[in-house]
Structure 1
C-alpha cells in the first residue's frame, strides 16, 4: 500500500503504514502506556532494524521498495540525519546506501546534519517543532552539488512531516535543488 504524502516537496510517498492496529495494554510501573502493536510487513522490518539493530533487514526493506518506480531518475538520495547519534545502527543511512546501490543513484550521506539533541516525539506543537528543526537541521555548505539537481529525501518513518518539510526548504533555498521528493518506509496512523 503506497501512501501519498503532501508537503512542500514535488512528490512524497510512504511505502506503508507503520502499524496496522494497536491495543492499549495499560500502564507500567513507571506510568508509561504499553501497547500491543501489529505492524505492517515494512513496519516490522523497520522496527527490527531501528530498535533491535538487525541489519539483515536492510535488504528486505530495499527489495520491498522495488514497487516504487522512478527512483533511478534522481541525481541524489539524501538520508534524513539521525536525532539519536549514539545508536549503533543508523537505519536511515543504511537504507539510503542500500537503495542507492540497488537503483544506481548517488547517496549524499552527511549532506544534512542534525545538531539537535531533543527527540521531537514529545513536541506536539507544530510551531515549536518547526523552530527546533530550523535551529537543528543544516545543509552542509560544501554540498553545492545539488544546484539544479533532482533530490530524493529518505526517512524511515513519517509522523507529522516536520523534519522533511524543513529539509526540503533547505535543499530548495540553500542547495538550489531543482526538485525535491520524499520517500519514507512507513507512516504513522496519527501525526503526534
Structure 2
C-alpha cells in the first residue's frame, strides 16, 4: 500500500497520519432524488478505510493495521499500550477498535479498550460547528477507567480519520489528567487535509 505520511500536530506528544483520505472529488450533479453525486478518488489507504467503514469489508482491517505498524510504529517505539479512539457512532463492529487491536498485536503490546470510555452519547462531531464546542462536548463525555497498574505509561491512540483534531484533542486532555500516563502518541489512518 502506498502512503504519504504526514505529522499531525495537537496537544499530544507526537502524531502521524498515513495519508490523505480523498485525493480528488469532482461534483457530477444531482441524482434523481436531488442528492449531490461526486466522482471521488481516494488514496489507497483512504479507499481501504472507506471499504471497511461503509461497505463493511472487514478484510481491510489487517491491511490497514499492517500498514500503520510498518509505517508508523518506529515513531512510537516507547508506546507500551494502544487504545482505540472511542467511537462517535455505534456499530455492530467498530472499525477503529479492530484496527487498534491488530496494531497492538503487531507491535506486541496490549490494547486496552476500556481505558478511555465515552460514557454519554454525543452528536457526531461533523454536526457540531465550532471546534471549541466539539472539544468541550467530548471532554465532558470521556472518562478514564483506572485499569492500569502502577507506573508511567506511553500510550498510542489509534483513530481512523483526522479532520480538525478536536476528538483527539479532547481525548488527550482527559488522558493528561490521568497520573499514570507519561506520553500520548496519536496515529490515524487518514487525514482530511
Give me the TM-score of the superposition, normalised by structure 2: 0.89
Aligned-partner SS, 2:123: coil
17, 25, 29: which one pairs with 1:22? Answer: 25
What's 1:116 paired with? 121
Residue 188 in 1 paired to residue 188 in 2?
no
Q: 1:122 to 1:75 in 2, by over 3 A?
A: same
- Displacement of 1:28 in angstroms is 4.6
2:87 counterpart residue number: 82
Deviations 1:47-81 (A, max 9, x none): 11111111111111122220222445311101001
Q: CA, structure 1 residues 128+103, in 2 after alignment: closer, same or farther (shift >3 Å)?
A: same
Q: Structure 1: any 5+ residue segments left out of the alignment?
A: none
Tell me, yes or no, if the aligned pair for 2:23 and 2:41 is still in contact at 8 Å: yes
User: In structure 1, how many angstroms separate the alpha carbons of the residues matched to 2:61 and 2:124?
Assistant: 23
Question: Counterpart in 1 of 2:7?
Answer: 4
Contact 1:138 1:170 (C-alpha < 8 Å) held by counterparts: yes
Q: RMSD between aligned alpha carbons?
A: 1.8
- C-alpha deviation, 1:175, in angstroms: 4.6
Give the deviation of 1:147 after TM superposition: 5.0
Aligned length in residues:
187
Equivalent-residue separation in structure 1 for 2:140 and 2:34 (angstroms): 32
Residue aligned with 1:106, SS: coil
Q: Which runs of 4+ in 1 moved over 4 A?
A: 28-32
1:116 Cα deviation after fit: 2.1
TM-score by length of 1: 0.89
Gaps of 5+ in 2: none
Q: CA deviation at 1:122?
A: 1.9
- Which of 127, 133, 136 in structure 1 is aligned with 2:132? 127
Please say if residues 121 and 141 of structure 2, whose CA atoms lie closer than 8 Å, have aligned partners that are also in contact.
yes
Alignment of 1:105 onto 2:109: yes
